[in-house]
Structure 1
Amino acid sequence: MISFFVCLIVLVAGYFIYGGIVDKIYGPDDRQTPAVRINDGVDFVVMPRWKLFLIQLLNIAGLGPIYGALAGAQWGTSVFLWITLGTILAGGVHDFSVGFMSMRHDGASVSELTGMYLGNIMKTIMRIFSVVLLVMVGTVFAVGPAGLIALLIGNQGGSGLLTNTTFWLALILVYYFIATFVPIDKIIGKLYPVFGICLIVMAVGVAIGIFTHGYSIPEIELSNLHPSSTPIWPMMFVSVACGAISGFHATQSPLMARCCKTEKESHMVFYGAMVCEGIIALVWAAAGSAVYARTGGLTAGLTDMLANGQAACVYDICTKTMGGFGIVLAMLGVIACPITSGDTAFRSARLVIADWFKVDQKPYLKRLYLCIPLLLAGAFISQLNYSVVWRYFSWSNQTLAMIALWTASMYLYKNASNYWITAAPATFMSAVSVTYFFCAPECLHLPVTIAYPVGIIAAIAFLGIFLFSTRKTEITDKKKDNRHGHLHTA
C-alpha cells in the first residue's frame, strides 16, 4: 500500500517539477494564439483555462486509463512504475509538445506537424495512420459504453430492446454525428466539464472504497504475475496505453490548442491533464490488484473477470468498492466519459482530413461531406471482434506516440532547445512499438528471441537517424550562413 501512495506523490510532484522543466524548455510567451487570431466560431474558439483542462482530460481519458490500467494490472503491481514514470517522462511531455507545437502552427493537426519536421513521406503516413486510429478509437469508445448500458439495464431487471447492445450503439453513433458536426463550444464546451468532474469523482470514489471496504493494495513487485506468462515487455507497456502515454492524445491536443487564449496555459491544460489521467490509471490499476484474489501468486481473478468483458469488470469493481453509489458513478463515468472521448475522436478525424485536403470547415455542407463517411466506417468496425480492435488500437496508440515524439524532437532541435526530453522517450517508445509488432499474436508473432533484439536495434537505428539528421541540418545551415555572408560582403 505504501508503493501506491509513493507513486501518487511522485505523480503530483512530477507535474510541478518535471512539468515546469518542460514548460521552461518550450518557452511559452504572449504571442497571439490561433484561438484569438483565427476564431472561426466552429473549431477555433477561446474558452476558459479550467474548462480547457476538463475537456482535454475527457478527450484523452474516457475508457483508456480504466481499461488499460486494468489490463496492465494482470502483470502485477509493476504496472504502477510504468504508469507513474511513463506519465511524467513520456506522456506529459508528449501531450505538452503536440499542444504547444499546434499553437505555434495555427492549430495544425499532428499529421501536418509531422510533415513540417519529418518530411512529406512521414506526413502522408501520419495522415493515414491518424484517421485509421481515430476511427478505431471512436468505435472502441462506442462499443464499450453500449455494452455497459445494456448490462446495467439487464442487471436492474430490464428486458427487450433496452438490453440490446446494438440499439445503444446506434444511438451513440447518432450522437457522435451531431457532436462531430456542430461547433466545438455548443456541445463539447458545455457537457465535457461536467463529465470530466464525474471521471475524477469516480476515481476518488474507487480509491476511497478500496480502503473503506477492507481491500489491501499489494506493494510493487517486479515479477511477472500474468496467469498466461505473457511477457511484461512489451505487452504491458502497450496494454496500458492511455494511462502512461498515448498517440491518441496527439490527435486530441490540437483541439484544445485551437481554443487556448495564451500559450502559458499549456502546462496546466496539456501536461496537467495527462498527470490527472495517470492518477486515474494508478487508482484503477490498484483496484484491479486489490479487489481480485490471486491464485498461486498470479492475477487469475482479475484475468478471469476481464475475460467476461471489460465493462463487466468495471461494473464489478464499482459495486464492490462503492455499492449502489458505484452503479450511479459507473453509469456516469464509464458510459458518458468514453462516449465524450469517442465523439472528439471522430471530430479530430474530420479535422485531419480537412487539413489534408484543405477543406474549409465553416460551411455546414462541407462538414457534412466528411462526417457521414467517418461515422459509416465506425459503424462497420463496431461489428468486428472488440478485443482484436482494442489490441490494434493499443499498438497504433504507441506507434503514433513514437512518431509524435520524434516530431517534437526535431522541433526542439530546430529551435535550439534541449531535444533529449523528447528524444529519450521517443527512443524508448520505438523499442516498445517495434518489439510488439514483431512478437504480438495479432502481428508477426515471432519468438521473443527475435523480437527483442530487433526492437532494440530499431530503436537505436531511429535515434541514429535522428542524430544524423540534426548533424546534416546543422551543416546545411552553416553553408547557407556562409553563402549569405559572402553575398553580403560582395
Structure 2
Amino acid sequence: MVSFILSLVALILGYLLYGRFVEKVFGPDDRVTPAVAKADGVDYLVLPGWKIFMIQFLNIAGTGPIFGAILGAKFGPVAYLWIVLGCIFAGATHDYLSGMLSMRNDGASLPELIGKYLGRNAKMVMLAFTVLLLIMVGTVFVYSPAEILHSIWGSSLFWIIVIFAYYVIATMLPIDKIIGKIYPLFAFSLLFMAGALMVMLFVKMPQLPELWTHFYNMGAEAEPEKWTDQIFPCLFITIACGAISGFHATQSPLMARCVKSEHMGRPIFYGAMITEGVVALIWATVSSWFFYGSPAPGYELIAAVNTGFSTSASAVVIIVCNDWLGVAGAILALLGVVAAPITSGDTAFRSARLIIGEWLHIDQRPIIKRLAICLPLFISSIAMLVWQIENPDGFNIIWQYFGWANQTLSVFTLWTLTVYLVRQKKPYIITLIPALLMTTVCTTFLFVSKQAFHLPENIGYLLGILCLVVALVWFIVWYRKEKSKLV
C-alpha cells in the first residue's frame, strides 16, 4: 500500500506543480474563444466549467483506465511507475496542449492541427488513421458494456442494439441536449466507484507487492507459460488511458469548442487526465490485491472465481465490486463502468463526424447533413462488430490493434505539439522527450508483437532503438533549418 499512497500523492503534486509549469509554457490569455466567436448551438456553445470537466473526464476515460490498469497490474507494481510518470509528464501534458492548441485554432480537429504543423501528407494519412481509430473505439466500447449488462439481465444482442440506438441519437443531437445533461451524472458514478474502492483499500489495508521489492515482470513469474508479454513495450501499450492516450487528442477539441476562457484549460484538460490517472492507480492497486495480495490473492478468497490469474478484466470488475461494495454500491459502481465506455463510444463517433465534416467543408447545422456523414460510420462499425463476434478471439485482436493505433496517434500529436512549441520559441523539451519515448514504444511493439511482424525480441528491440535514433536525427536536422528561419 505504500507504493499506492506515494503514487497518489505524486499525481496530486504533479497537477499542482508540473501542471502549472505546462500552463505557464503555453501562456493562456483573454482572447475570445471559439465557443463565443463561432457559436452555432450544436457543437460550438459555452458550457459551465464544472460540466466541461465532467464531460472531458468521461469522454477520455472509457474502460481504458479500468481494463488497462487491471491488465497492466499483472506486470506487477512497475505499473505504478508508468501511470504516475506517464500521466504527469506525457498524458496530461499531451491533453492540455492539444486542447489549448485546438482552442487557439478555432476548435480545429486533430487532423487539421497535424496538417498545419506536420504538413499536408501527414494530415491526409492521419485523417484516415484517426477516423479508423474512432470507429474502432466506438466498436470496442459497445462490446464490453454489453457483456457486463448481459451478466446482470438480458442478452448481449439486446444491449448491443440499445447501445447503437443511443449512439445514433447522441451523435446527431446538439452537444448540450444529451451529453451536457447526462454525462455529469455518469462521471459522478465513475468517480464514486473509484472513491469507494479507494476507501475500501484503506479499510482493508492489504499487503501488496511494493515497487522497490518487486521491480520485475511478476506476470511472467505467476504464469510463465501463458504470460509472455514484456514490460517494454507491452506495459506502455496496455495502460494507455491511465498514462497517455492519443484518443484523448480527438476528444479535447469537442470541449475546446465549449470553453469560455483559456484560463479554464488547466483544470479541464490537465486535471481530467490526472483524475483518470488516479482512477487507473486505484484499479491497478485493487487488481494487485486480486492477483498478488498477501496472505492470499483475492481470487483465492472469493468462491466465485475459478480462473485465477487468467481472470478477465471485466470479470475482475464485477467480482470485486460485488465483494467489496455490496449490492447497492456494486450497482452504482457498475453503472460507472458501463457508462464510461458507452459515452466514450458516442463521442468517438461525434468526433469522427466533425473531422469528416471539417475536411469536406460541410455545414453541420442541418441534421440531414449530419446524418449523411454518420451513416457510413455506423455501418462500418456494425460490420467490424459482426466480425468481432463471429471470431472467438475477435475482441482481443481488435483491442490490441486499438491499443497500438491509440498510442501511435499520441506520437503524431506529441510531434505536432513539439513543432508548435519550437516555432513559438517555447521549451519544446516537455513534448520532445515524450514524443521520442512513444515513438520507440510504438515501433518496438510493431516489430515484436504477435499481431504484427513478430520478430525475435533482440532484433525487434534493436530496430526500435534504430527508430529512436532516426527520429532524433530527423528532429535535429529539422530544428536547425527551422531555427535559421526564425532568426
Tell me the TM-score normalised to structure 1 length. Answer: 0.92
Q: Which residue of 2 aligns with 1:156?
A: none
Say which of 348, 352, 356 aligns to 1:349: 352
Q: Which residue of 2 aligns with 1:334?
A: 337
User: 1:357 offset after TM fit, Å?
Assistant: 1.3
Q: 33-42 or 218-227, which moves further after superposition?
A: 218-227
1:268 and 2:267 correspond? yes
Secondary structure class of the residue paired with 1:191: helix
Say which of 410, 413, 417 aligns to 2:422: 413
Q: For 2:332 and 2:298, locate their aligned partners in 1 and report how far apart those are by CA, in whole Å.
A: 26
Q: Which residue of 1 aligns with 2:216?
A: 223
Letter in 2 for 1:251: T
Q: For 1:416 and 1:176, locate their aligned partners in 2 and report how far apart those are by CA, in whole Å.
A: 42
1:425 and 2:464 correspond? no
Say which of 177, 180, 187 aligns to 2:178: 187
1:239 and 2:242 correspond? no
Q: Which residue of 2 aligns with 1:203?
A: 194
Matches within 5 A, 1:159-178: 162=154, 164-178=155-169
User: 1:305 offset after TM fit, Å?
Assistant: 5.4
Deviations 1:273-299 (CA, angstroms, capped at 9, x unpaired): 000000000000000001234799999
Contact kept, 8 Å, 1:427 with 1:460, in 2: the verdict is: no
1:401 and 2:386 correspond? no
Letter in 2 for 1:418: P
Contact kept, 8 Å, 2:290 with 2:298, in 1: the verdict is: no
Q: Does the C-alpha gap of structure 1 residues 198 and 211 become closer, same or farther in structure 2, counting only changes over 3 Å?
A: same
Matches within 5 A, 1:11-50: 11-50=11-50
Counting aligned pairs with the same residue, the percent is 45
Q: For 2:323 and 2:230, locate their aligned partners in 1 and report how far apart those are by CA, in whole Å.
A: 30
Contact kept, 8 Å, 2:363 with 2:369, in 1: the verdict is: yes
Q: For 1:84 and 1:450, locate their aligned partners in 2 and report how far apart those are by CA, in whole Å.
A: 30
Letter in 2 for 1:433: C
Letter in 1 for 2:250: T
Q: Does the C-alpha gap of structure 1 residues 235 and 378 become closer, same or farther in structure 2, counting only changes over 3 Å?
A: same
Matches within 5 A, 1:258-337: 258-293=257-292, 304=307, 307=310, 309-337=312-340
Deviations 1:91-112 (CA, angstroms, capped at 9, x unpaired): 0000011101000101001111
Letter in 2 for 1:321: W
Q: For 1:354 and 1:305, locate their aligned partners in 2 and report how far apart those are by CA, in whole Å.
A: 48
Q: For 2:119 and 2:284, locate their aligned partners in 1 and report how far apart those are by CA, in whole Å.
A: 39
Q: For 2:55 and 2:297, locate their aligned partners in 1 and report how far apart those are by CA, in whole Å.
A: 38
Contact kept, 8 Å, 1:306 with 1:312, in 2: the verdict is: no
Q: Does the C-alpha gap of structure 1 residues 438 and 145 become closer, same or farther in structure 2, counting only changes over 3 Å?
A: same
Contact kept, 8 Å, 1:294 with 1:300, in 2: the verdict is: no
Deviations 1:366-410 (CA, angstroms, capped at 9, x unpaired): 100011111111112222111111111111111000110000000
Letter in 1 for 2:105: H
Letter in 2 for 1:436: F
Letter in 2 for 1:273: A
Deviations 1:460-479 (CA, angstroms, capped at 9, x unpaired): 2112212321221222445x
Q: 324-333 or 96-105, which moves further after superposition?
A: 324-333
Runs of 4+ aligned residues of structure 1 deviating over 6 Å after TM superposition are 294-303
Q: For 1:303 and 1:395, locate their aligned partners in 2 and report how far apart those are by CA, in whole Å.
A: 31
Letter in 1 for 2:346: D
1:72 and 2:72 correspond? yes
Secondary structure class of the residue paired with 2:270: helix
Q: For 1:343 and 1:357, locate their aligned partners in 2 and report how far apart those are by CA, in whole Å.
A: 21
Please list every run of 5 or more consecutive structure 1 residues that lacks an aligned counterpart in the other structure.
154-161, 479-490
Contact kept, 8 Å, 1:399 with 1:430, in 2: the verdict is: yes
Deviations 1:42-72 (CA, angstroms, capped at 9, x unpaired): 1101011111111000000021100000010
Deviations 1:193-250 (CA, angstroms, capped at 9, x unpaired): 1111111110011112233345333311211111224211000110011110000001
Letter in 2 for 1:173: F
Q: For 1:2 and 1:244, locate their aligned partners in 2 and report how far apart those are by CA, in whole Å.
A: 20
Q: Does the C-alpha gap of structure 1 residues 212 and 291 become closer, same or farther in structure 2, counting only changes over 3 Å?
A: farther
Q: Which residue of 2 aligns with 1:53?
A: 53
Say which of 448, 455, 468 aligns to 2:477: 468
Q: For 1:432 and 1:141, locate their aligned partners in 2 and report how far apart those are by CA, in whole Å.
A: 24
Tell me the TM-score normalised to structure 2 length. Answer: 0.93
Q: For 1:233 and 1:108, locate their aligned partners in 2 and report how far apart those are by CA, in whole Å.
A: 34
Please list every run of 5 or more consecutive structure 2 residues that lacks an aligned counterpart in the other structure.
389-393
Contact kept, 8 Å, 1:305 with 1:312, in 2: the verdict is: no
Q: Does the C-alpha gap of structure 1 residues 79 and 308 become closer, same or farther in structure 2, counting only changes over 3 Å?
A: closer
What RMSD, in angstroms, separates the aligned Cα atoms of the two structures? 2.0
1:359 and 2:358 correspond? no
Secondary structure class of the residue paired with 2:192: helix
User: 1:313 offset after TM fit, Å?
Assistant: 1.9
Q: Which residue of 2 aligns with 1:255?
A: 254
Q: Does the C-alpha gap of structure 1 residues 450 and 90 become closer, same or farther in structure 2, counting only changes over 3 Å?
A: same
Q: For 2:127 and 2:330, locate their aligned partners in 1 and report how far apart those are by CA, in whole Å.
A: 40
Q: Which residue of 1 aligns with 2:391?
A: none
Q: Which residue of 2 aligns with 1:439?
A: 448
Q: For 1:307 and 1:353, locate their aligned partners in 2 and report how far apart those are by CA, in whole Å.
A: 40
Letter in 2 for 1:40: D
Q: Which residue of 1 aligns with 2:62?
A: 62
Q: 208-217 or 248-257, which moves further after superposition?
A: 208-217
Contact kept, 8 Å, 2:207 with 2:294, in 1: the verdict is: no
Q: For 1:319 and 1:113, locate their aligned partners in 2 and report how far apart those are by CA, in whole Å.
A: 44
